[in-house]
Structure 1
């Protein structure tokens, strides 16, 4: 009487078992399979069992694609923006569970989308948001600022880094473009970055005061909580007591010593302090009070940034 094994061999293609053996060998030699066996030695006896083969194969496919990640847009996984994770099976002491979860790039993208919904218009030109360091001409008058900005991106650690950059210089020298390249580089790494053109944001906040569907707090929270906030062209806004003390001040108070803020400005730090003191609704007898309040704002900026001058010609004029 033939055994079940002999009967299976009879009905299966002749090379089926050879292919299965070769596949088994490849799985045994796969570095991720070896890692799982080392991490969960008591739970991997069924790892290469036919019942787990499909889940394991999918996990290895996702694992390989994620290791060679080309970015969110070029994600090769069947479910884009997802990665495969392994967890002990709570019901089986000798088994593992494989499940898909959103990767850090997808989470960063979704968070940026959510922030974008709160602030309807950042008023940042597309060519700024799409800037890359490869495209920025490193002429000698701004090379140091570019190098330091690239170093900032390399050194940035989510949840740990607290110091940003203050890029200042004349109009048209490329400060916003450098900041945009920083935003793009960090976003590639899954960091949520919010870049806001300050004059238009202040105007938008004022409009939100009378809005029935939006609150000022929701707009301010977006800036308070972004992992990296870029305030573009600070000092170009028409400053009032309210925008300084009730908008800018609370945002920076929440972020200092916790979250990174990057600034671009036509003004030096000292000139920015003077700008913040000269609010348009100031009264002469309040001068000292406004100077003190401006100094407090600067105390929330200067200790937490690396100040970088950006020189060169006005590139807007060719």
Structure 2
């Protein structure tokens, strides 16, 4: 089997090129990756092709030696296309990991959640304490059905249980699975969001904030029912968001320390202590449509 690299080296020696150019060319050809490329593609190469593509070979060797100057985050690679040698640049492992994290942050949006919430893992949840079988199965069932793009509406989950049993963690783990399937998710701490919405009145951004939230493909409201709500937050913020999502058939998730029955009683009393049963019932009608109730049990994760 002929040695194409040696054959071309002999050609170089016979050419009336400057000594400096010959040296640069020979050095480039002697590069181990270039030698391997020639060896792997010798059935497609000859001395003429190498001669006509010295610039690509030289660029490749220079790019390898000066990665920080050529294309940060990319690795050069030699390929053959249309009987010519070309240099292409492929993202390195660090850049791939960085882009993956950026994509995760872009599609897995959060409002007032812990910084490490995106690391939640459904397998870790399943391997935790007893009492999670029902919630784990419900999570898997939603992910499976939603991923199949079924034409019918797939309700989200209303996760309720005692403090610290892993409701928020499960929401985040579900979100991460959905994001991996190219679905945008917003997970937000609802009591904090309610406070922010009151502040939004001052800069007249209430409707803008509601519009940004209500149309997210998957919305997760964490810790709903933890604080008393004003009639305005309940009806003009939460009610508007849920009404839109019900009309557009957008799955919505909730976590709460209260069952749906308990939440209705909680929502019926506003911050002034007024009893507003009908308005609370309207909110709960939407929550019942958008999600189905699943209990999350087990020991308190925060103290184990």
Find out whether 1:126 has 2:115 as its counterpart. Answer: yes
Bigger mean CA deviation after superposition, 307-316 or 148-157: 148-157
Structure 1 runs not aligned, ≥5 long: 1-7, 24-47, 82-104, 117-121
Report 1:1-40 matches (<5 A). 19=41, 21=43
Count of paired positions: 239
8 Å CA contact 2:267–2:280 kept in 1: the answer is yes
Tell me, what secondary structure is at the counterpart of 2:120? coil
Report 1:102-141 matches (<5 A). 109-110=105-106, 122-136=111-125, 137-141=127-131
Larger Rg: 2
- CA distance in 2 between counterparts of 1:139 and 1:296 reads 36
Q: 1:239 to 1:11 in 2, by over 3 A?
A: same
Q: Deviations over 1:34-73 (max 9, x none)?
A: xxxxxxxxxxxxxx6347x859x88xx89xx9xxxx9xx7
Instruction: Tell me the CA shift for residue 18 of structure 1.
Output: 9.3
TM-score between both structures, scaled by the size of structure 1: 0.63
Name the residue aligned to 1:149. 139
Tell me, what secondary structure is at the counterpart of 2:96? coil
- CA distance in 1 between counterparts of 2:182 and 2:236 reads 31
1:253 aligned to which of 243, 248, 253:
243
Tell me, what secondary structure is at the counterpart of 1:150? helix
Q: 1:18 to 1:235 in 2, by over 3 A?
A: closer
Find out whether 1:293 has 2:279 as its counterpart. Answer: yes
Instruction: Tell me the CA shift for residue 107 of structure 1.
Output: 6.4
Find out whether 1:204 has 2:196 as its counterpart. Answer: yes
Tell me, what secondary structure is at the counterpart of 1:247? helix
- CA distance in 1 between counterparts of 2:105 and 2:303 reads 34
What CA RMSD, in Å, does the superposition of the two structures yield over aligned residues? 3.7
- CA distance in 2 between counterparts of 1:106 and 1:127 reads 14
Find out whether 1:226 has 2:216 as its counterpart. Answer: yes
Name the residue aligned to 1:243. 233
Instruction: Tell me the CA shift for residue 195 of structure 1.
Output: 0.6
Instruction: Tell me the CA shift for residue 124 of structure 1.
Output: 1.3
8 Å CA contact 1:159–1:259 kept in 2: the answer is no
Instruction: Tell me the CA shift for residue 74 of structure 1.
Output: 6.7
- CA distance in 2 between counterparts of 1:177 and 1:17 reads 52
